[in-house]
A and B are shown apart, each in its own frame.
Chain A
Amino acid sequence: MLRRIAIWAVLIAVLLVPIIAAAFSPYLAWRQPVYILAGFAGIIGMCLLLMQPLLAGRWLPGLKPVTSRHWHKKCGLALVAAILIHVGGLWITSPPDVLDALLFVSATPFSAWGVFAMWSGFAAAMMGVLRKRLRLRFRIWRLGHTGLAGVTILGSVVHAMLIEGTMEIMTKTILCVLVVVASVLTLAKMRVWEIGR
């Protein structure tokens, strides 16, 4: 019981501390509300990227497998919403910069990573929503879904780490490392590469 409380407490802290740290960023003073909203949507998206492998791998204590899967779906849809708010808010803030990013001609190297992550995230979510209609064998479907999710995670982590923005560097690094570690551990636990059976 104590262990369960400790795990949840650490998880909540890991999710909240980067958001709170970013809320103290001096750069916020020089930004309009829509730009601030877009930035925080991106940070919340990174937090959801930590939840996704933890829920998919059923690591969290006290959650039944079916509950874990339901929350995986909810967090996935929330992640799509976070990406849309992130990109939409940036578009309102500076349309030419977002257009450059979407067309892969941006001056900033992290933009293309973010756009790759966005599209693969949308595709992973589509595969999740359309799982039954796709009529793929479960393990083939899972390999596709996790492959797209892997591109989303890698792209998002590189995107976030290259940005000089409102996220505090230590909390950003720890969150990104945890996202990668959780993803790798989940892939290994599920043995997603075994599609033979």
Chain B
Amino acid sequence: MSGVLFSRRSLMVVGGAALASGATGLIVPAQASGLAPTPSMRGGSNNYRAGAPIVDRIGGGGFWMTGTVRRAGDGTPLPGQRIQIWAHTTEGHERDPQSHGATLTDANGEFRLEMPQIVPAFGQPHGHLAYDSDEFAPVFLRPVMSSAKDKTLAAHFVLQPV
């Protein structure tokens, strides 16, 4: 069997370099060039309605849409960001106004909005989320549930300042 033979010195040099790069890997998000912005997904903006109201809950609830919002580059969590959410649920079609709602991220840049159960529509059980305020470039997401029986769905935003 062939193999690369390391001397003790080369092993320490290579191993040390690997450790060092691993350690700096943890530091990279703190640098400006680190975290890439989330691109909008295909079909993400379909049936979008501008200006969905901020609500405590969409309809009767029972299903949770969750996620995080961070700034591109340094990955800083962004509090107070408005995320709009809509989907085809047990209480209405994507186009229906009552299927739309918005929420704000908390101090940790996390959001969590209760809504009716998402049911498969147009061939996939999926939700829609939008960031479209002025501070950052707009992002439209369309995450798909791994199972139609799921009671929660997550989507994460990394926003690019404009």
Is chain B found bound to chain A in the same assembly?
Answer: yes
Report the Cα distance A106→B154, complex, angstroms: 21
Complex Cα distance, B25 from A65, in Å, reads: 73
The reply to whether A27 and B120 form a contact with Cβ atoms under 8 Å apart is yes
- Listed from nearest, the 7 A-B pairs whose CB atoms lie closest are A107-B43, A96-B46, A107-B42, A163-B123, A164-B120, A30-B119, A97-B122
Can you spell out 23 A-B residue pairs with CB atoms less than 8 angstroms apart?
A: A29-B90, A31-B93, A31-B121, A35-B93, A94-B46, A94-B93, A94-B121, A96-B47, A97-B43, A97-B46, A100-B42, A100-B43, A106-B42, A106-B43, A107-B43, A107-B44, A108-B43, A108-B123, A108-B124, A110-B123, A162-B123, A164-B124, A164-B148
In Å, the complex CA distance between A165 and B47 comes to: 19
Pick the contact of B123 from A96, A105, A165 — CB < 8 Å? A165
A55 at the interface (CB under 8 A from B): no
Give the residues in chain B near A105, CB-CB below 8 Å.
42
A99 vs B131: C-alpha distance when bound (angstroms):
23
> How far is B142's CA from A90's CA once the two chains are assembled, in angstroms?
19
**Is A173 an interface position by the 8 A CB rule?**
no
The tally of CB-CB contacts under 8 A between chains A and B is 56
Residues of A contacting B93 with CB < 8 Å?
31-32, 35, 93-94
Give CA–CA (A162, B90) in the complex, Å: 22
> Would you list which residues of chain A between 82 and 98 have a CB under 8 Å from chain B?
90, 93-94, 96-97
**Contact present for B90 and A100 (CB under 8 Å):** no
A111's nearest neighbour on chain B, judged by CB, is B123
The answer to whether residues A94 and B47 also contact, given A30-B89, A164-B148 and a CB cut-off of 8 A, is yes
Interface residues contributed by chain B, number (CB under 8 Å) = 23
Residues on A lying within 8 angstroms of B by beta carbon are: 27, 29-32, 35, 90, 93-94, 96-97, 100, 105-108, 110-111, 162-165
The listed residue (B42, B89, B123) touching A164 by CB distance below 8 A is B123
B100 to chain A minimum Cβ distance, whole angstroms, is: 14
Chain B residues in the interface with A (C-beta under 8 A): 41-47, 88-90, 93-95, 119-126, 142, 148
Task: Determine if A27 and B119 form an interchain contact, defined as CB atoms under 8 angstroms apart.
Answer: yes
In the complex, the answer to whether A30 meets B88 with C-beta atoms within 8 Å is yes
Known: A94-B94, A96-B43, A96-B46. 6 other contacts (CB 8 A): A31-B93, A94-B46, A105-B42, A106-B42, A108-B122, A164-B123
For the complex formed, measure the closest distance between the CB of A37 and the CB atoms of chain B, giving whole angstroms: 14
Contacts of B119 in A (CB 8 A): 27, 30
Contact B43 A164 (CB under 8 A): no
Tell me if B120 and A107 are in contact (CB < 8 A).
no
B133 to chain A, nearest CB (A): 22
**Separation of A111 and B123 alpha carbons in the complex (Å):** 9
**Complexed CA–CA distance, A105 and B42 (Å):** 7
> Closest A-chain residue to B120, C-beta based?
A164
Set of chain A residues within 8 Å of B142, measured between Cβ atoms:
107
User: A residues within 8 A CB of B88?
Assistant: 30
- Report chain B residues within 8 Å CB of A35: 93
Residue from the set A30, A31, A35, A108 with the largest chain B CB neighbour count within 10 Å: A30
B36 CB, nearest partner CB in chain A, Å: 20
Closest to B119 in A: A30
A97 CA to B45 CA, complexed, in Å: 10
In the bound complex, what is the Cα–Cα distance between A108 and B126 (angstroms)? 11
Q: For the complex, give the distance between the alpha carbons of A100 and B89 in Å.
A: 21
